[in-house]
Amino acid sequence: MRRWFRIPVFSLGASGAIASVITSFTMNFPGQTMQIAGLNLPAALVSLAFVANDFLSLADTRKDSVGHGVHLGGYAFGFCFHMVDQLSSWIWKTVVGKGSNSRRRNNDGSYRHGFVRRREFLLSMALLASLVVNGLLMYFDSRADSERTINGLKEEL
């Protein structure tokens, strides 16, 4: 829209958070498939195609209204989330849960030692942090775009 109407268009959405979820899914379940346009494709191939598309689109000199930098930040966050989850699982199994079965159930069906609660908490904190980081990236990206547009309008006058 900015190209035609000379007004700044701000990016808003959850695409960065979706990118982090896709990356985390791919890292956790690399053998699964995703259905894209009716085709069942390996999750790793789909994720690599998305990352490559965003890298190439970010390097392209033509500007579009897609926050490719936010997508790349989401991919990086999903990867970091997976690595932190793996590290915390390793710590949980070797340090905290040593000598006990950390997946054993109580009589009411809940897990002992907060195994499920730990993962739920970690996931909710990761999604919250992803939204905050992506929101900040979109804010600063849109400020830079609006400043470039304002400077371009000043030059035309």
Residue 87 has pLDDT above 60, yes or no: yes
pLDDT range class, residue 1, cuts 50, 70, 90 = very low
d(CA 157, CA 148): 14
pLDDT number for residue 2: 47
Which residues lie closer than 8 Å to 122 by C-beta, 6 or more apart?
Answer: 84, 85, 88
Of 27, 43, 142, 36, the residue nearest 81 (C-alpha): 27
pLDDT range class, residue 29, cuts 50, 70, 90 = confident
pLDDT number for residue 78: 87
> Considering Cα of 98, then 100, then 106, then 109, what sign does the dihedral take?
positive
**Range with top average pLDDT, 55-69, 70-84, 128-142:** 70-84
Q: What is the pTM (predicted TM-score) of this model?
A: 0.56
pLDDT number for residue 96: 60
**Span 62-70, mean pLDDT?**
74
Which residues lie closer than 8 Å to 151 by C-beta, 6 or more apart?
Answer: none
Tens digit of each residue's pLDDT (9 = 90 or more) over 137-146? 777 766 666 6
Which residues lie closer than 8 Å to 31 by C-beta, 6 or more apart?
Answer: 42, 43
